[in-house]
Structure 1
């Protein structure tokens, strides 16, 4: 009970006259002691603590408001449907995907690195990294997409103009950024079957500021070098601490390492990121609030992010998930590629390896060490819920109903031998349809045939035409293909089973194959020293 303030003598006298005579004082029992006044030091301490609390809470509020004011946002997914509607996000899952983009725009502060003619507006994606955090927080993969990877580019709603930018049947992936970062998100979603949760878009200035905030990142090269034709990166042989302009030059150089290919540039970027992750982990940055605030201040000032990430809890949530992950389980991957058939100076996905890798990501499959233990709240990927394209995982959405009713017996309401079933091989493995056709025949579906080899597709599907939904559902059940992969297609006569690169062997769908040597390195590896292109040696 709070103490009452002592009254003045005059006030006491007035109060006594109003009350009348006081009753006799109650006797003090042996278990009671008179109340003593609090010592002065305790009062001062209480006031000081209260003041500090008010100051801390007030300062925290100001800092949070400051971070919020720093933020620049853009829509997460700019992909649009045929009717012009923006594609809706799918239900959240336990795993988390963050697309990290680096733009080569020369707009604003970046004009010192070239002219607007070289890269105006949003620019092109100089760096495309997809960070995937598993549902149980035991695994992180960082996947690099080459800037000259040829892929389908979807129609996108421009972040700048609000107008729909027509897509391309096959275009260079880094060009999708011209319609905003959400268009790159949409392109990679369709390419991988994933649903990216967030993006971060950095320009040249952001890279400099972030490397400065970290106090530099250690790198190592096997020979003294100077990139006189582009980034002007100059390093002595051995280890160096790079930050600011030097860190930016290290990430920008396109010719200094290996054979000067874009893939060797990606290796250098992965090397830099691995070193940065080790430094952040060793210094406890993700659990040190002052350091974390400093980084957050730099990030929010210099990055464009999606609206869902534009709040402090979301940022802290990602940092919390990353804080305790074993560096040996942070893997760096480059999407499997091969020379593009129409232009060997570009690359295309190498199948079936790319499809197998994307399937592993969709299913939260561990790329390093033992598979993760089941999470208390399993992700949609881990439990097999439908991805964006709705073709992978366990049953989630039943196929459209057929006009025929299926009685509750083991005997179907149709003649299996009469049902027309085509099997298209989109697995990128020659002869893959043979054992699938044999399995269909054994099950009684003898009117089935090979529909030939078609362009590789990442996800297996069962398509059906008019009045064939029940047959398609039974075929999916026979091969243990998820119901979410069963789709109505009015152009199909009968049923067509499309074997994707996520099903490369056997007659039972669901076995995830992680391509051999898909992991280039892990964050616990120092990586030795990068090999310098001899054309850039200095002596």
Structure 2
């Protein structure tokens, strides 16, 4: 019996009998028949195999293609430190939706492919910034301001440390802004712009001469307009009157020329650069380039090969994120602005910021004002000074614990507007501060209330009377009593933040404007 069970359990031959083993054998046979009957149904049809194979090839090919381009573009990018010792007091910006400032630089270094545009002594070091523009993207991705800084503008350059060599260069005054990066690198240019504007640049992008040529070729030329036919032997720009499409060497010559436009100075050059970028923006948007993957890859390859960025921008996904932010902005909300300037007192061949217009511009930028419509509401993340609160708190005492008429309050006029301090003094006297005095001071961007020891309560009441936020009260050991330091952000009225003053013509043009440049009479050819 034991052996019989062993045979049964191990699948004995069906000829052994008609018992359970036979029944088991019959079932097996039936199953085998069914398996033979269902076999053709379970096989994959030839057409499905073919489709699956094609899809697999496409998928693998697509992944390989995407991987190739990702690594190619990523390896194209060169990176450098964002700052040269200035540091940052702001948190990490949200590249997808946070308000963002990007400093755009054009280097005049003559190394590598740029050797044809200079001499051997110009092919070493960081070079000067041939172009300097600050691109300010609003938090809601609905507008962009592009502020140009003339290369001849005299500014104060802070102390900067070259992050590669660790060598520190001392601060300098009255230096052309295009020299800011020559010693300590691009980060020093960023720190200089931060110091000048009172803002904090989030990223930078620096391109060289070759980038302009290859980008203009990649988009099939850029339309530019000039009033008369010109030839500039220095830049080798030659254009007929009217509209022309420029690319390659002629596109570079159009952006580089110092003499072909207006009076042959730097401001005419800036207007031409703004006109070029406006035309380039319109062409890219009108032709749907930003939504065409093939064209975008071509442009991205060209740009990244000739681009240096800070570490925060040093990845393809980040660059694509920023590009995505820009693709839907109305060209009428892309405002081009030049920093207000005038001939420098120290050297009439150089420029200095014109006050109070320059400080008004920087104050408006800090408040995130729409330069195309200064009366429009600012974004929620704008400076708190845009919406001051003057309402008294419930816990404020009904009677001040001091005599207002005896308190020393001085008003320093740093607005650049003559007679401005007297207006504020009148308001303070009317509010009970009978001892208020005034004096003129250097123009500054932001209004601050300084106060000495034991005068914190007086300062708070003074600020509340004028609507100045409590965040702009600063203790100072150098002040006796209270000093209201008026900045260009408080140019009129007696309530701070009630409005934003800007020169009427602060916007040179928008990307929606097709502007024809005025030719320099000395270079007109017939």
TM-score exceeds 0.5: yes
Aligned position for 2:258: 254
Aligned position for 1:92: 93
Q: Residue 505 of structure 2: SS of its match in structure 1?
A: coil
Distance 2:475 2:190 in 1: 27
Distance 2:456 2:176 in 1: 38
Q: Sort the Cα spacing of 1:90 and 1:78 in 2 relative to 1 into closer, same or farther, 3 A.
A: farther
What is the total number of aligned residue pairs between the two structures?
489
* Stretch of structure 1 that moved more, 152-161 or 90-99: 90-99
Distance 2:371 2:222 in 1: 26
Aligned position for 2:444: 457
Distance 2:437 2:375 in 1: 38
Is 1:287 aligned to residue 275 of structure 2?
A: no
Question: Contact 1:463 / 1:496 at 8 angstroms: preserved in 2?
Answer: yes
Q: Sort the Cα spacing of 1:20 and 1:116 in 2 relative to 1 into closer, same or farther, 3 A.
A: farther
Distance 1:473 1:61 in 2: 60
Is 1:422 aligned to residue 402 of structure 2?
A: no
Q: CA deviation at 1:241?
A: 1.6
Q: CA deviation at 1:36?
A: 6.5
Q: Residue 430 of structure 1: SS of its match in structure 2?
A: coil
* Stretch of structure 1 that moved more, 426-435 or 128-137: 128-137
Distance 1:53 1:120 in 2: 46
Aligned position for 1:29: none
Q: Which has the larger radius of gyration?
A: 2
Residue-by-residue CA offset, 1:91-116 (whole Å, 9 max, x unaligned): 53732211111121223332221124
Question: Contact 1:128 / 1:147 at 8 angstroms: preserved in 2?
Answer: yes
Distance 1:50 1:467 in 2: 78
Is 1:301 aligned to residue 305 of structure 2?
A: yes
Aligned position for 1:402: none
Q: Sort the Cα spacing of 1:473 and 1:312 in 2 relative to 1 into closer, same or farther, 3 A.
A: farther
Question: Contact 1:213 / 1:294 at 8 angstroms: preserved in 2?
Answer: yes
- What TM-score, normalized by structure 1, do the two folds share? 0.84
Q: CA deviation at 1:154?
A: 1.1
Distance 2:496 2:143 in 1: 24
Residue-by-residue CA offset, 1:66-102 (whole Å, 9 max, x unaligned): 212111111112243xxxxx44444537322111111
Q: Residue 343 of structure 1: SS of its match in structure 2?
A: coil
Distance 1:142 1:350 in 2: 18
2:149 counterpart (139, 145, 148): 145
Q: Sort the Cα spacing of 1:119 and 1:88 in 2 relative to 1 into closer, same or farther, 3 A.
A: farther
1:409 counterpart (376, 394, 397): 397
Is 1:168 aligned to residue 172 of structure 2?
A: yes
2:65 counterpart (47, 55, 59): 59
Q: CA deviation at 1:416?
A: 3.3
Aligned position for 1:437: 425
Q: CA deviation at 1:57?
A: 2.3
Q: Sort the Cα spacing of 1:220 and 1:408 in 2 relative to 1 into closer, same or farther, 3 A.
A: closer
Q: Sort the Cα spacing of 1:470 and 1:108 in 2 relative to 1 into closer, same or farther, 3 A.
A: farther
* Stretch of structure 1 that moved more, 103-112 or 276-285: 103-112
Residue-by-residue CA offset, 1:366-391 (whole Å, 9 max, x unaligned): 1225866776xx4x32xx25xxxxxx
Aligned position for 2:478: 491
Q: Sort the Cα spacing of 1:233 and 1:374 in 2 relative to 1 into closer, same or farther, 3 A.
A: closer
Q: Sort the Cα spacing of 1:421 and 1:79 in 2 relative to 1 into closer, same or farther, 3 A.
A: farther
Distance 1:72 1:471 in 2: 54
1:209 counterpart (208, 214, 223): 214
Question: Contact 1:218 / 1:239 at 8 angstroms: preserved in 2?
Answer: yes
Distance 2:460 2:27 in 1: 92
Q: CA deviation at 1:233?
A: 0.9
Q: Residue 332 of structure 1: SS of its match in structure 2?
A: strand
Aligned position for 1:320: 324
Q: Residue 126 of structure 1: SS of its match in structure 2?
A: strand
Distance 1:298 1:319 in 2: 15
Q: Sort the Cα spacing of 1:473 and 1:314 in 2 relative to 1 into closer, same or farther, 3 A.
A: farther
- What TM-score, normalized by structure 2, do the two folds share? 0.86
Q: Sort the Cα spacing of 1:373 and 1:481 in 2 relative to 1 into closer, same or farther, 3 A.
A: closer
Q: Sort the Cα spacing of 1:483 and 1:213 in 2 relative to 1 into closer, same or farther, 3 A.
A: farther
Is 1:194 aligned to residue 199 of structure 2?
A: yes
1:43 counterpart (40, 49, 67): 49
Distance 2:520 2:434 in 1: 60
Question: Contact 2:138 / 2:368 at 8 angstroms: preserved in 1?
Answer: yes
**Structure 1 portions without partners, runs of 5+:** 1-12, 26-33, 81-85, 386-391, 397-405
For the aligned residue pairs, the C-alpha RMSD in angstroms reads 2.8
Distance 1:325 1:460 in 2: 33
Residue-by-residue CA offset, 1:236-288 (whole Å, 9 max, x unaligned): 23322211111111111111111101111111111111111111111112222
Is 1:75 aligned to residue 105 of structure 2?
A: no
Is 1:473 aligned to residue 460 of structure 2?
A: yes
* Stretch of structure 1 that moved more, 231-240 or 122-131: 231-240
Distance 2:494 2:216 in 1: 50
Distance 1:338 1:534 in 2: 22
